[in-house]
Each structure stands twice: as C-alpha cells, then as structure tokens.
Structure 1
Amino acid sequence: MVRLAIDMMGSDLGPTGLIPGVKALLKDYDDVELHLFGDENILKESFTEENVIIHGTEEIVPMEVGALKVLRMKNSSMMKAVQCTVDEDLDGVVSAGSTGGFLTLTTLIVKNVEGVLRAGLCAPFLTVKKGKYVAILDIGASNENTAEELACFAKLGKIYSSTMWNIENPSVYLLNNGAEEGKGPDYVKGAYKLLKEDSSINFQGNVEARYVMDGKRDVVVSAGFPGNIYLKASEGMASNMNMLIKNAFSENIFSKIGYLLARRGFKHMKEIMNYKKVGGAIALGLNKVAVKAHGNSDGYAFEHALIMAYKMCKNHMVDAIKKEFHE
C-alpha cells in the first residue's frame, strides 16, 4: 500500500484541474491511500472512495511566497499535507503549488536524509533516444551551491537512475560551458575534482547543454541557478518548436499532405517535447518522497506526477538513498 498526501489547492487551475488526475490514478492503481488537502466541499463532491481521506483546509499558499510567510500559514493545504506526511508516516507528498514554499516546508518538516548535504530538485527529461531518460539536478532548489553539494547531487542522481531505471552503473556528467576539465567557475572545477576521485561514481566529465538530451547520458549535475535556466529554456524551446511545426504544416494543402506522410515521426518528437508526460520534479534527498508537480498542471500532467511519486515509493527510493549515505 502506497500512502500519499496531496495538496489539491496550489496549482494555477485549482482543485477542479487536478481532480481528473487523482481519479485516473485511483482507476489504474488500487493499492493506494490518498490524503487530499483542500476545499472540503469540492473534494467531497468528487470523491467517495474508501481509500481517499479528505482534509478540509482554509488557506492556499500563493505561487510567490517567502519562507517566513509559508511557515506562518499553518492552515494551508500545503502545510497540512507536508505535516501529515510526517505525523501519519505516509510514504510521500505531492503538490502543484509554489516551488519555493514546497521546498521550504519539506526541507524543514520532512528534513534531509542523514548525510545528505542538500536535497536537489531533480527532473527526468526524455531524450532523443526512444524510451531513454536523463536525470538532471539541481534544477532550482537553491541559487548557490558548493562543490561538495554538487558531488552530493551526483550521488543522489546515481541512486535515482539506478533505482528507477535499473541502470547498473549510471554515467554522471557536470553541466558546463565546455567539455574540458578546466572549464567553468571554481565550484564546478571543485566538483569535477571530487567526482573524479570518487570511485563510487561513474563520472564521465563535463557536458555542454546542447548534448544533455542526446540519449548518451544518465545523470547531469548542475547548481540550482543554471539548472533552472536550462529547464526553462528547454521548456520554452519545446513549446516554440511545437508552434513552428504546427504553423508550417498548416500553410496549405501540400504542407498538410506532407504532415500526413511524416506524422509518425512527428508524434515521437511531440512525445519527447511534452513536459507534461514527466509530471514534475522530485526533491531528492529527503526522508519522504516529495514530488513538485508543474504549477500549470492539468489532469494529465498531475496524474503523471502522482504516478512518479507512486513508483518512487514502490521502488523504495528513500530507503536506497539512506542506505547509500549511511554506508
């Protein structure tokens, strides 16, 4: 049985946008117990299942919120969901609300696994190789990081890719502006040295941003600030490419015929660029599974965020991290 706490109030679309995703999870997985936090009236109208426990809350954490403010919002759906994860010893927590608020609450309430210097926000990216993912972290949990923290992210990424994707010895790279060893700021050079000396990490050196999703990497490590820029740039590029392709094949009858002949290949490309299929990002290194779904999640995206949390729980991700960092 996988037991999850779910913040239903923080997304751009509100609870009505997320409810279809929860319904889809309940339809496909019967070994779950879901604790839903949000507007009690809306949730009770939508859920009557015995394995769904509804917790009415009074406050919604805004998208732009400081650490002190979110901690004061004791009756918010996000705070209640995170606190319940610890108090009721649930397996994980999922929210589509404020990233900063979610990371603040999970870090202070759920806390890092002993030995983890800093939890990293990890996103699995689809690559050009069919069925192949690459784990990128940190993508925005912090603005500044040390060399030691990047080395910690590398270990967390290795555990994630080996546990979730059954990769025996995952390849690990540092995101940099060049492949040469001496490239980058001091903290990246320091991380390079640490990873090169760590025999437990299959470190393969630096990688430029243009090669991250070529299907040849398993884990790419970055500080939070450049990692978040890479994430946003990738999402923007994917959105622009979809728009350009759609416009190109809508110009006239001949372009439409061309699309019909090539649609199989474009379907695969569309899947690669569909960030909603991933569902969100994971705060790796905490004592519970914590998934931050996209703020603009619809039912489809939120379902995939919930599936991500479910699979991490089933694969005992937290136990794997504890084992690695306690050895």
Structure 2
Amino acid sequence: MQKDNLTEVPEFFLLGFQTSQDVRIVLFFFLLVVYCGTICGNFLIITLVSTSKNLHTPMYFFISHLSISDILIITDIVPKMLKILLNNGGTMSLIGCITQLYLLCASEASECFLLAVMSYDRYVAICNPLRYSSIMTSGHCMILSILCWLLGFSIILIYIIKTAKLNFCGPNIIDHLFCDIIPLLEVSCSDTFIIHMVIYIMGIPIVIIPTTIIIVSYTYIILAILRIPSNTGRQKAFSTCSSHLIVVSIFYWTMFGVYVVPTKGRTLTMSKVISLLYTVFTPLVNPIIYSLRNKDIRKAVEKCQLSFRRSSRVGNVELF
C-alpha cells in the first residue's frame, strides 16, 4: 500500500517476552490464573452490588463501575498476550493495534474519572453527612457514571484519531507485550511531535483535574476526621474511605511508574514487567481490597453462600 511514497506495514509483530519456552509456559499459566481470578472477582462484585439491597448505595454503585473498567482493561490485554507467550511472539493488524490501544487508554481514563467521583462521594459522606442522601441521589450517581465513561472514551478518541493518521513504514516489530502508547510511537516513521503534545494536553483533563479533586477531597476528609473527638469515631470514619484510598494509591503509582518515571537505564524486560502492573496487577487487587476490607461486601458474600446452601439442601430433599 503506497501513501506519500512510503510503504505502510499492514500489521505489527509483538515480541512479548523473548525467553526460554519453560519460562514462557510458566508465565502463560500464571497470567491465565490471574485473568480468571480477576474476571471472577470483579464479576462477583458487580453481581453482589446488583442483587444485594444493602449494597444499593452510591459508593458500591461506583465500585461496580470500577469493576467494569477493570474487566475491560484486562480483557483487552491478556487474551492476546497469552497467545503471544505461547507462540513466542504474535502478529496484530494495524487496526487491531489501534483498537487495543484505544480500549486500554479509554478504560484507564474512565477509571481516573471514576476514582475522582468516588473521592467526592466520600467527601460528601464524611464532611456533609446530613446532606449526603440529597446530593448523591440515584439520578446524580447515574449521571456522574455516564459522564465518566463518555469523557474517557471521547477524550482519548482525539489521540487515537491522530495516532491512526501516522505512517508506519517499518520496521513492524514492537518489542512489547501489547500495543502501548510509547512502543507504538517508536515504530512510526512520521513526526510524532504533535502526538506528544496531544498526550500532554490530554493529561490535564484526564490526570491533573481528577488528581486535584482527589487531593482536595481527602484534604477536607482528613481535616474532618481529625475534628472527631473520639478515637472510635475517627477510626469508623477513616474505614469508610481507606479502601478507596489504597486503590487510588496503587492505580496512580503504577501509572506514574510506567509513563512518568524516566526510562533511562531501564531494560526492555523491566519495562514490560512494569507495564503489567497497571494492566494486570491493578484489576486483580481492586476486588480483593474491596472484599477484604469491606464488611458490607463480606456480609453479602456470606448471605449468598447461605442462600446457596439452603437452595442446595432444598434441592436434595426434593430429589429424595
């Protein structure tokens, strides 16, 4: 295909981990177990929030949307990565590569907005508890969640359209596990200055504004908690936002580790391992954190187990 006297490559070859077959097989089964565990854990949270009446609150509503984002991220990345590990590399079409990048970036951006909204929800719950039910109504929560998804997928679309217009004339080898921002730009034969500018500009609404909302919200939350006279009251208030604070910390530390920390002196293998943190590790630990540190979710799981056992006993009695 000729375009501007440059032969564009129809597909890319992703190298994955260039190591021994035994190591790749171990990584394959490890990622497969992580993928299945992540899908099951996040689907469990979505199911519990949908079916348990005591979880029909704004906080759990946003947690379920966070689980949807985690499912999208890991499903976008891991299945193709597993195939690459088995075959010691794999091809991906240009359209497929751009699509994978779009779904990854859009889901990550939506998660940034969701975490910001969740921090605002915790701010209202702790700093304005008497007005919480009137501010965080079901209608407002629905609007906020829709805005998070629309903003994430629409803002990233600007960058994706710019990236799709780049020329990729060879080499077509990407030494990475998936089509990420930096590896894809490195194999382009076009001037990527405008794309880098777009990325920096998009960082304002996607990263800086949500981060500012989170910092301001938790500043007021901490000040409000410190004004509580009893230790028991302070611990109870902090426990309502501790899970979210841990998830926010993990999410931003992994993102900054990949895109902000200088890559000088970092090996390609190290970069690949670090990229697994926000695409595989974060979606796995989020449901674990919310399930282990949240009494309401644990109670909902116990109720589901009890109801399942009762239905099993009734079924066995009917059989006999």
Shorter-chain TM-score range:
under 0.3
Scaled by the length of structure 2, the TM-score of the pair is 0.28
Higher helix share: 2
Name the structure where strand makes up a greater proportion of residues.
1
